[in-house]
Amino acid sequence: MPRTVLAQHLRFPLTRPFRIARGVKTEAEVVTVAIGEDGRTGCGEAVPYPRYGESPASALATIETVRDRIEEGAGREELLSLLPAGAARNAIDCALWDLEAKLSGRDVASMIGGPVPRPVASALTVTIDDPEAMARTAAGLAEMPLLKVKVDAGDPEAQIRAVRKAAPRARLIVDPNESWDRDLVEAMQPLLIEMHVDLLEQPVPAGSDEWLEGFAPAVPICADESIHVAEDLPTVARRYQAVNVKLDKTGGLTAALTLAQAARERGLGLMTGCMVSSSLSMAPALHVAMLSDFVDLDGPLWLREDRFGGVRQESGFLHPPVDRFWGTS
């Protein structure tokens, strides 16, 4: 029986606005791919991201360009040469992993030789607001092990201080989403130490980070927008101390595992991140999370309604989806 490929654009309303320096999101827009073969179906999900010139329409159009090759039997390795890194390749790649698991009777963990995903401490996000509102949010998360604090260039010191006061014991990741400049990064170093921040994520715009090659940060700086695939590492490793691996950037789990391994070989720290999306995006990302120092996979927790059987959060730990949700036979 020949393969079939079905691609769709879906929307998931959020419980509340998700505000970062780049804008506000009120729903998660995802593209899903379902690949059927021999009575089994493998599924994958991706988030086309405007920051990278993507939209649901462009991702669906990209998927159409390789539909025939996938239906003819092209696999994950061939896909790497058929499409560039990005959301379209991610959705197909993850669907192929899921399909292979179902057809072979093996789970993805055994296929990659890694551990079965287990509950892992995942950052819970405090989005941008006035410091008082951010403090109220942080107070409700004060007993969680890890928080990600979204800030901008307006008054990040007040934002960070407010969160730290409300959550004195949590580990903190500060994420300006490219909104700072060199002067602000340098000025914020003493505060980052004082507030016991564990990681500063992509403070300046990708493409304007050359000066980091000569900079000795007070806390490790993690590349996000500056790193997509393993081929970016020679430059990134000179500027950053850690990298954020996101499947929507790498173009799937296949390339994400390659990036994670290559980053480790260079002695870089690892974070596994996500876009705001459903648990179908988190299930494959959890395999990278098992290799990571920091995990930021709270995307589904922002949805009004996630996919049935998806991830769940307890006391700041993200629990994997139920059996057979993704990547198992």
Residue numbers annotated as active site: 150, 246
User: Would you call 299 helix, strand, or coil by DSSP?
Assistant: helix
Q: What angle do CA 246, 130, 313 make, to 5 degrees?
A: 40
DSSP single-letter state for residue 184: H
Q: DSSP state, 25?
A: E
250 in Cβ contact with 91 (< 8 Å)? no
Residue 5 identity: V
Surface-to-core class of residue 65, CB atoms within 10 Å of its CB (0-12 exposed, 13-18 middle, 19+ buried): exposed
Contact 293, 122 (CB under 8 A): no
| Count of Cβ atoms closer than 10 Å to residue 154 Cβ | 11
In order of 7, 105, 117, the CA distances from 100 in angstroms are 18, 8, 18
In angstroms, the CA 255 to CA 77 distance is 9
Task: Locate 29 and state its tokens.
Answer: 């827009």
By the 10 Å C-beta count (0-12 exposed, 13-18 middle, 19+ buried), 19 is classed as middle
| Cα 248 to Cα 273: distance, rounded to the nearest angstrom | 10
